[in-house]
Amino acid sequence: MRKNWQIKVFILTVAVTLIACQAVMGPVGDDITIPSPPTHDAEGDGAEMPNTVPPPTEAGDVGESGNPAESCFEGESYHPESELCYRDDGSAEPLFLTMMAGVTDYSDEDFSDAEEVGEEENLVKYTITGNEISAPEYEDVSAELKPLQENGEVHERVWDFFSAVIPQERRDFVSNYLVFTDGKNGTLAAVEQTQTDPYAWMIEIDPEDTADMQDFTFTLIHEYGHLLTLNSEQVKVDEAVFYNPEDDNAYFDAEDNCTTYFTGEGCANSSSYFYLFYDEYWTDIYNEWLDIEMIEDDYAYYDALDEFWAGREDEFVTEYAMTNPGEDIAESWAVFVTHPKPAGNTIAEEKVLFFYQFPELVELRSEIIARAYSRLIRMQ
């Protein structure tokens, strides 16, 4: 493969940037039907706190008899392994899908406004053990960010939602939870390999963007889509790249030696979800897309992307999905989980139907739906 240095450097820059996802660019809410969660203002001590994921109406406390199943609502079963109550008979699905209707309607958002968002600041990093978080490591932050940094209750609440929605055994390679902020809007959440272990991952969430539970739910499922498709069982970790992030040649070599798709973390296994998806939907458009990726000027880049998008509305589930193959599979996965099974045959619909060919993913979808629904109704 011929190497083009400038192109490669640019791609490298893009690829090693953490997978920041699902930016929330501007006010949402007008087009949102249900649910409309109560606005939570943590006042009390006078400190101005952001609106965040609301507290559940019940903390899952067990009844006086000590029987945890007593905290379950009608129709729910108690699941001791996760200590959660949720419906396991499929009855949550239509209710959840109704709640999530319209969540991917980003049509009025302009991604080129991204630069107006504040800088991302890391606040605190937790260690994940099972469903628990511990050992907070605090970053040095300005006085202005202290209240959010010290609001462990909000950090926990955000974590509790994610850990309840995604079954523990499906995220056992996620070892850290980073709380960061770039103010309201901007990036809601992201995932990346940890700094020290390429096989372990970190979930990163900005609590300031978590008040809209519909958006938050979609975004967490989207982030999990990255974890599902990029973990080391799916993608062979490239240690040379991970341990030598400044070494461009290591990256180029890894890319050149990969006959499937090089994700940045490594070479996708030939039977991985990522590669099967890429092979089916990206091989024909990849070069055209790559030409756009090489545009360095932001405005020219977004113009070219707009042009690429025009006429392709029925090939991607959202405009954001067009960003790159990784975002495309994550968005398609999130639509797979949060929307009814498509009945049509557009490419966008085929990308959602793609996931239905894997029984393990259909099963996981049902479980995520049941768990997410049980949490959402407790926040209304």
Please identify, among the stretches 14-22, 247-255, 258-266, 344-352, the one whose residues bind Zn ion according to the rule CB under 5 A: 14-22
Q: Does 220 bind Zn ion (CB under 5 A)?
A: no
Q: Which residue is nearest to Zn ion (CB)?
A: 21
Phi, psi of 205, deg, nearest 5 = -135, 140
Output the 3-class SS for 131-145.
CEEEEEEECCCCHHH
**Signed CA dihedral, 354, 355, 358, 359: sign only:** negative
CA angle 284, 11, 198 (to 5 degrees): 105
Please identify, among the stretches 171-179, 328-336, 350-358, 359-367, the one whose residues bind Zn ion according to the rule CB under 5 A: 328-336
With beta carbons less than 8 A apart as the criterion, state whether 24 and 209 touch: yes
Q: Nearer to Zn ion by C-beta: 151 or 323?
A: 323
Phi, psi of 152, deg, nearest 5 = -60, -30
* Dist. CA 193–CA 311, nearest whole Å: 35
Strand partners, 126: 177
Q: Nearer to Zn ion by C-beta: 133 or 203?
A: 203
Please identify, among the stretches 99-107, 247-255, 329-337, 338-346, the one whose residues bind Zn ion according to the rule CB under 5 A: 329-337
Shortest approach of Zn ion to residue 26 CB, angstroms? Answer: 18
Please identify, among the stretches 17-25, 49-57, 86-94, 277-285, the one whose residues bind Zn ion according to the rule CB under 5 A: 17-25
Q: Residues 138-154, buried b or exposed e (16+ Cβ, 10 A)?
A: eeebeeebeebbbbeeb
Shortest approach of Zn ion to residue 192 CB, angstroms? Answer: 11
Q: Does 21 bind Zn ion (CB under 5 A)?
A: yes
Shortest approach of Zn ion to residue 142 CB, angstroms? Answer: 28
Of the candidates 148, 201, 216, 217, which has an alpha carbon nearest to the alpha carbon of residue 179?
148
Shortest approach of Zn ion to residue 330 CB, angstroms? Answer: 4
Contacts (CB under 5 A) with Zn ion, residues 138-177: none
Shortest approach of Zn ion to residue 203 CB, angstroms? Answer: 12
- Give the helix, strand, coil percentages of the chain, each rounded to 5: 45, 15, 40
Instruction: Among 165, 178, 254, 330, indicate the residue that binds Zn ion (CB under 5 A).
Output: 330
Q: Nearer to Zn ion by C-beta: 207 or 325?
A: 325
Q: Are strands 174-181 and 201-205 parallel, antiparallel or unpaired?
A: parallel
Please identify, among the stretches 63-71, 83-91, 114-122, 330-338, the one whose residues bind Zn ion according to the rule CB under 5 A: 330-338
CA angle 210, 214, 219 (to 5 degrees): 65
Q: Nearer to Zn ion by C-beta: 252 or 316?
A: 316
Total number of residues binding Zn ion (CB under 5 A)? 3
Q: Nearer to Zn ion by C-beta: 104 or 374?
A: 104
Which residues have CB under 8 Å from 234's CB, separation 6+?
Answer: 228, 268, 269, 272, 273, 274
Shortest approach of Zn ion to residue 106 CB, angstroms? Answer: 13
Q: Nearer to Zn ion by C-beta: 21 or 165?
A: 21
Q: Nearer to Zn ion by C-beta: 21 or 267?
A: 21
Please identify, among the stretches 21-29, 55-63, 92-100, 147-155, the one whose residues bind Zn ion according to the rule CB under 5 A: 21-29
Q: Does 189 bind Zn ion (CB under 5 A)?
A: no
CA angle 20, 265, 273 (to 5 degrees): 85
Helix (H, G, I), strand (E, B) or coil at 157: helix
Q: Which residues of this chain interact with Zn ion, rule CB under 5 A? A: 21, 327, 330
